[in-house]
Structure 1
Amino acid sequence: MSRTRGVLYPARLPEFHRLPPEAHARELAVWFWIPEWDIEPGRSSRQDIVGYPALNLVVEQGAVTLSGATTRASHRDLSGAGWAVGALLRPAAVATLTDDPAALIDAETTVDAPDLADAIGASMSTGDGRRERAVAVFSDWLVRRVGPVDDAAMRANALVDVLMGDDTVDTVEEAAMRLAVSTRTLQRLCHRHVGVSPAAMIRRRRLQVAAERLRLDPGLELSGLAADLGYADHAHLTRDFRSILGMAPRTYRAGASEKSPDESAKI
């Protein structure tokens, strides 16, 4: 997966890093994402995201929140100075944080973890190497919180690799076949560990890839892109864009390389 897949307007990002988890936490987090910003007074920077169908555990300003999968693009307006440290969670980490990930779709809840908030805050306040220290602290915390990863959790991780990884499938049936489970079992695994259906995960991955390819190749033909990604035709791709992003692919492509007019210089 690329560093900015899922970020709709990379040119508008403040300083942004995606770091891998520590080795002992690789079954618990896909990566850690760390934005840092320092926006001039009176100005703001709008960040638009079409998120992964996954849960994120985020530390910011002394608070810890758990955010669920999203059904549409979202945005956040950054102002002032600050940072956040988030973990894009693998399914194996979810069960110890929530009993019902579906209840967190397009929502978030506070997690009572002052020890994590304090440790991340201390790591991010110490200059050079702060991001790496934060990742190490966060990785250790996840491992302690989750404990041993059992076979069921490993199967849940495998489903995300099949549905969202680089070597992915285009249908639910193909995913079930590759995982050697029934489609009903696949549906249950997704609901229990992600909160959304496998079909929704496939649609989200295709949309993320489509947006990324449109940014990288402004001359790309929509019909060819739609065919490459398994859409019936470019009208189907356009419907997905409008449904999730609220705009047509051509409109998105026209603005994808532009900076926000309210963005201050990157850190």
Structure 2
Amino acid sequence: MVDPTRGVLYPGRLPLLHRLPADEEARDLIAWFWVPEWDLEPGIVSRQHVVGYPALNLVVEPEGVTLSGATSIATHRDLEGRGWAVGALLRPAAVRTLTEAPAELVDREIALAAPELHTAVVAAMTTDPERHRRATRVVADWLRLRSGPITDAARQANAMVDALVGEDAARSPEEAASRLAVSVRTLQRLAHRYVGVAPAAMIRRRRLQDAADRLRADPRQDLAALAAELGYADHAHLSRDFTAVLGIAPSAYRVVPAGRSGVRES
């Protein structure tokens, strides 16, 4: 099951958002699809805050196609008017097809020249009653055709991400390397080559997503106990990480109202 709110700091402020799993043939390339749609009144801006997964995203919007790198801090985007996007959270096996240097895309996005992909997705999102399924199928087919056969190295990179941020993920790079029967240095090279950020940074991002999810679910959560459960040395370590990446202390985040809101521009 794809969690529709994981990584979203204030789910109550979301526009209509769909998260869809990739079909069987595309699961080595795409973790899942995310498809937001919005239609806001004039003068209303909806600010969306996200602590992103340590991964790259392929995004198709009415304006064009972009490739977004992994992020080092929480990010936001202001939505206004009417619009949509079709995004694919990429598995490492898809990354080398689109860029040779994912580390250069950290906290950045670049435009991709993919007119046939853009035209087909826009057509699906504009005219098809089953627009989400049709649009995501277009993206999956395009990416499969562009990627070709999955190499052993790419499968190993996928396994690396699973070990670092998947279900029952490792608590340290050393543990992840042991699970994969590789050296820590090999793990670091895989992460740099296919994601662009270090294994330790990927683990920290997973912990912060877990912390934010837990605090939203139970604002009365004891922070010292939460820190211990997530593998932090202590409460202070969790608070420093949370504040550095999300820009807000965990004690403050858990009392911020989660209801839908907009910011009216002056």
Shorter-chain TM band:
over 0.9
* Residue deviations 1:161-216 (CA, integer Å, cap 9, x gap): 11111110110100000011000000000000000000000000000010011001
261 and 45 in structure 1: CA distance in 2 versus 1, 3 angstrom threshold? closer
Deviation at 1:259, TM superposition (A): 2.5
Deviation at 1:126, TM superposition (A): 1.9
Q: Which amino acid aligns with 2:13?
A: R
Tell me, yes or no, if the aligned pair for 1:62 and 1:121 is still in contact at 8 Å.
Answer: no
* Residue deviations 1:26-78 (CA, integer Å, cap 9, x gap): 10000010000000001110000000110000001141100000000000010
> Counterpart in 2 of 1:50?
51
Q: How does 1:36-75 map to 2 (within 5 A)?
A: 36-75=37-76
Task: Give, in whole Å, the separation in 2 of the partners of 1:211 and 1:22.
Answer: 29
Tell me, yes or no, if the aligned pair for 1:215 and 1:256 is still in contact at 8 Å.
Answer: no
Unmatched 5+ stretches in structure 1: none
> Counterpart in 2 of 1:90?
91
Deviation at 1:219, TM superposition (A): 1.2
Q: How does 1:52-201 map to 2 (within 5 A)?
A: 52-201=53-202
Using the size of structure 2 for normalisation, the TM-score is 0.97
The answer to which of 41-50 and 124-133 deviates more is 124-133
SS of the equivalent of 1:96 reads helix
* Residue deviations 1:117-158 (CA, integer Å, cap 9, x gap): 011001101242100101111110110010000111000000
Tell me, yes or no, if the aligned pair for 1:103 and 1:195 is still in contact at 8 Å.
Answer: yes
Task: Give, in whole Å, the separation in 1 of the partners of 2:63 and 2:27.
Answer: 25
Tell me, yes or no, if the aligned pair for 2:29 and 2:93 is still in contact at 8 Å.
Answer: yes
Q: Which amino acid aligns with 1:108?
A: E
Structure 1 runs of 4+ aligned residues shifted over 3 Å read none
Q: CA RMSD in A?
A: 1.1
Task: Give, in whole Å, the separation in 2 of the partners of 1:203 and 1:67.
Answer: 20
210 and 188 in structure 1: CA distance in 2 versus 1, 3 angstrom threshold? same
> Counterpart in 1 of 2:203?
202
Higher relative contact order (CA 8 A, sep 6+): 1
Q: Which amino acid aligns with 2:101?
A: D
Number of matched residues? 263
> Counterpart in 2 of 1:236?
237
Task: Give, in whole Å, the separation in 1 of the partners of 2:34 and 2:69.
Answer: 16
* Residue deviations 1:206-233 (CA, integer Å, cap 9, x gap): 0001001100111111011101000001
Task: Give, in whole Å, the separation in 1 of the partners of 2:262 and 2:178.
Answer: 48
Task: Give, in whole Å, the separation in 1 of the partners of 2:110 and 2:257.
Answer: 31
The answer to which of 127-136 and 234-243 deviates more is 127-136
179 and 13 in structure 1: CA distance in 2 versus 1, 3 angstrom threshold? same
Unmatched 5+ stretches in structure 2: none
Identity of aligned residues (%): 62
Tell me, yes or no, if the aligned pair for 1:18 and 1:33 is still in contact at 8 Å.
Answer: yes
Task: Give, in whole Å, the separation in 1 of the partners of 2:215 and 2:76.
Answer: 20
